[in-house]
Structure 1
Amino acid sequence: MKNVSSLNELIKEFEDIILEKSNIIKSGSVVALKHVATGKYLSSIKNLHYTTGSKKQLVFAGSSDFNLNSLWNIEFNGEFATSFDTFALRHIKSSLFLGINWGYSRSYYKSPSTNHTEVSCDGNETKWNFRHSKLENDQVYLKSNDIINLGIEKKNDAFQEVVCHNERLGGNDVWCIEFIKEHTWSA
């Protein structure tokens, strides 16, 4: 804390600390992920499944208007997430985890529309990692409105969201995480 020379400065400093702490995302929080380039939310609809490939629950960049299909419970070890932690995302309405799946041939299922790795929701917990897109020097924890790259690593391949790919990261891979509620919601 800088040198404070008045009571008003002390109060302002205290308010800033409280505001920053209230934006930190805790394990068990409900969040939404907004795709920065399109403004659309990461969404899934209970019982809407791929008709080919894994036949798991479909995941997509939905509406640019926030709705219940775009709510995710974020779960990680410890109370707060740092950029060194992994976490799971559980879809609120279906209680299924965001992930990617192996086919019988030991390769990832491919999206029928793009031929990239299919992203879906199922009962298997998948651990995701994130990197801050623009990390501030003093930033330690994941906070609401952070701009992040969401990915998963399997067998040395780096995959990004909504369809997964192993190509160079770009503007299409950037998500804004929004804090919705501190405690879990039930479907």
Structure 2
Amino acid sequence: MIHSTININNNNGNNDNNNNNNNNEIEEINTLDSLSNALKSHITFQILKDTFNEYSKLIKYGNFVSLKHITTGKYLTTDDKKYLTGSRGQIVFSTDALPEANAIWKINYPFGSQPKANNEIVSYGDTISLQNKLGKMLWAYPNYKSPTSGHVEVSCYSMNQYNNWMIEPNISNISTKKNSNEEKRYLKSEDKIVIWCIELVEH
């Protein structure tokens, strides 16, 4: 059993000492639940909770995310089918469902960069590479057109070059961290990147 005390200021308008001092009541805390409730009522706890919740939304290298098309609400995914033209690589498309592996992408450091430890926060302006849970890398081929949309062909390959992507913001309320004279903007879950909304799936 936990035995502790917490001071609670009681402002009831009465002043027995005529010196504007508030009376203090001592409440005994003898269970974990009462301790938790006392902490939750304290503003410092709420600030720490809000800070933690905000930090937990930050996207880090090594995290798995989904990419949701803002207009249609569909997720970027792939399967075993291949293009019959262009690169003849594995097709990439959007779907209403969120498959476990095909539509979940790992954020990696860009091809050609020095290997670093995961858990570094991704910032706007960073260059990244995307790899789904099946190990396929996301590619784009400017010289080829998608046979369905007519836009640049996007496909998946096992190779790991020419597959870097730039993180560019499309909203104003993105996460920021000011350090001396420079401002760094961090990528967060549910941020919108051009036409895609990034959603954190798992750390």
Instruction: Normalising by structure 1, report the TM-score.
Output: 0.71
Q: What displacement does 1:137 show?
A: 6.6
Distance in 2 (alpha carbons) for counterparts of 1:137 and 1:33: 17
Answering whether residue 98 of structure 2 is matched by residue 66 of structure 1, we say yes
Distance in 1 (alpha carbons) for counterparts of 2:139 and 2:171: 25
Instruction: Classify 1:138/1:76 alpha carbon distance in 2 versus 1 (closer, same or farther; 3 Å).
Output: same
Instruction: Classify 1:138/1:74 alpha carbon distance in 2 versus 1 (closer, same or farther; 3 Å).
Output: closer
User: Which runs of 5 or more structure 1 residues have no equivalent in the other structure?
Assistant: 1-5, 102-106, 150-173, 183-187
SS at the partner of 2:50? helix
Q: 2:130 aligns with which of 89, 103, 127?
A: 89
Equivalent position of 2:190 in the other structure: 145
Which structure's CA Rg is the greater one?
2
Equivalent position of 1:124 in the other structure: 160
SS at the partner of 2:78? strand
Alignment of 1:26-105 (within 5 A): 26-45=60-79, 47-63=80-96, 65-68=97-100, 69-76=102-109, 79-93=120-134, 95-101=135-141
RCO (CA 8 Å, sep 6+): is it higher in 1 or 2?
1
Instruction: Classify 1:33/1:15 alpha carbon distance in 2 versus 1 (closer, same or farther; 3 Å).
Output: same
8 Å Cα contact 1:76-1:85 kept in structure 2: no
Distance in 1 (alpha carbons) for counterparts of 2:63 and 2:54: 16
Q: 1:15 aligns with which of 49, 61, 75?
A: 49
Answering whether residue 197 of structure 2 is matched by residue 176 of structure 1, we say yes
The one-letter code matched in structure 2 to 1:82 is: S
8 Å Cα contact 2:70-2:197 kept in structure 1: yes
User: Which runs of 5 or more structure 2 residues have no equivalent in the other structure?
Assistant: 1-38, 111-115, 177-184
The one-letter code matched in structure 1 to 2:121 is: F
Cα deviation digits, residues 130-150 of structure 1 (max 9, x gap): 22211227532111111112x
Instruction: Normalising by structure 2, report the TM-score.
Output: 0.66
Q: What displacement does 1:96 show?
A: 1.3
Indicate the RMSD between aligned Cα atoms, in angstroms. 2.0
Q: What displacement does 1:62 show?
A: 1.3
